[in-house]
Amino acid sequence: MTPTEQSARALAVCRLAPVVPVLVIDDLAHARPLAEALVAGGLPALEVTLRTPCALDAIRIMAHVPGGVVGAGTLLTPADVRAAKEAGATFGVSPGATDRLLDACAEYDLPLLPGAVTASEIMALLEKGYTVQKFFPAEQSGGAAFLKSIGAPIPQVSFCPTGGIGLKNARDYLSLKTIPCVGGSWVAPKDAMARGDWAAITTLAAEAAALRA
């Protein structure tokens, strides 16, 4: 899959809802009810970070939840890309971008949101054809003000910013034309997951889904 095709597919995922939950799953038993709760609240696109031992198995389970579109986050290596694809991920997210990672996503047909922060990083990805990128860590890197500024000289790149975003500041990002969605972990708090309080997570998801209602 070419970078242009990857970007088109990644953009379609980003347009499903204003927020993509960034999920860190410690307990495999949480995978199905968590995905069901988020989808029920109106957030179908789900990013499972490959940061815990059960993450790939969680993707395997969540890929079968009706209405869910499950991707793998924290892709760092070609092996991560291959494992994510085999587990059933339909998109990938990386905090940055290396040639080996980009090549692996092309080889394994996994649409990628590659990460960039600086003008040169954004331009290097744009040169290769990646018009949809992750901006991480968003708040720490200049936030919505930075993305507004970079959108003047480089309006052809869209971003999914993540890192430090919550209900309080999501609208600052979503009001920009270049931002189809933001990513964030706030819709799946660890304490609610530990309690099995899936109704609370559906409520958080519904609030997030309404950010651009």
Residues forming the active site = 47, 134
> Between residues 3 and 184, which has the closer beta carbon with respect to ligand 3PG?
184
Tell me the three state secondary structure of residue 22. strand
Tell me the three state secondary structure of residue 190. helix
User: How, if at all, do strands 132-135 and 158-161 pair?
Assistant: parallel
Q: At residue 47, what are phi and psi to the nearest 5 degrees?
A: -105, 115
Cα–Cα distance measured from residue 42 to residue 191, given in angstroms and rounded to the nearest whole number: 21
Contacting residue, 162, 181, 202, 209, with ligand 3PG by CB under 6 A:
162
Q: How far is the CB of 124 from ligand 3PG (least distance, A)?
A: 21
Kindly state whether residue 136 participates in binding ligand 3PG, applying the rule CB under 6 A. yes
Contacting residue, 88, 96, 142, 164, with ligand 3PG by CB under 6 A:
164
Kindly state whether residue 52 participates in binding ligand 3PG, applying the rule CB under 6 A. no
Contacting residue, 68, 115, 143, 163, with ligand 3PG by CB under 6 A:
163
Q: How many residues bind ligand 3PG (CB under 6 A)?
A: 10
- Could you tell me the sign of the dihedral formed by the alpha carbons of 3, 143, 183, 208, in that order? negative
Kindly state whether residue 22 participates in binding ligand 3PG, applying the rule CB under 6 A. yes
Q: How far is the CB of 203 from ligand 3PG (least distance, A)?
A: 18
Q: How far is the CB of 2 from ligand 3PG (least distance, A)?
A: 26
Kindly state whether residue 130 participates in binding ligand 3PG, applying the rule CB under 6 A. no
Residue type, 159: F
Kindly state whether residue 141 participates in binding ligand 3PG, applying the rule CB under 6 A. no
Kindly state whether residue 21 participates in binding ligand 3PG, applying the rule CB under 6 A. no
Question: What does R_g of the chain's alpha carbons equal in angstroms?
Answer: 16
CA 82 to each of CA 51, 110, 206: distance values in angstroms, whole numbers, following the listed order:
16, 9, 33
- Could you tell me the sign of the dihedral formed by the alpha carbons of 116, 119, 124, 130, in that order? positive
> Between residues 21 and 42, which has the closer beta carbon with respect to ligand 3PG?
21
Q: At residue 89, what are phi and psi to the nearest 5 degrees?
A: -65, 140
Residues in touch with ligand 3PG (CB under 6 A): 22, 136, 162-165, 183-186
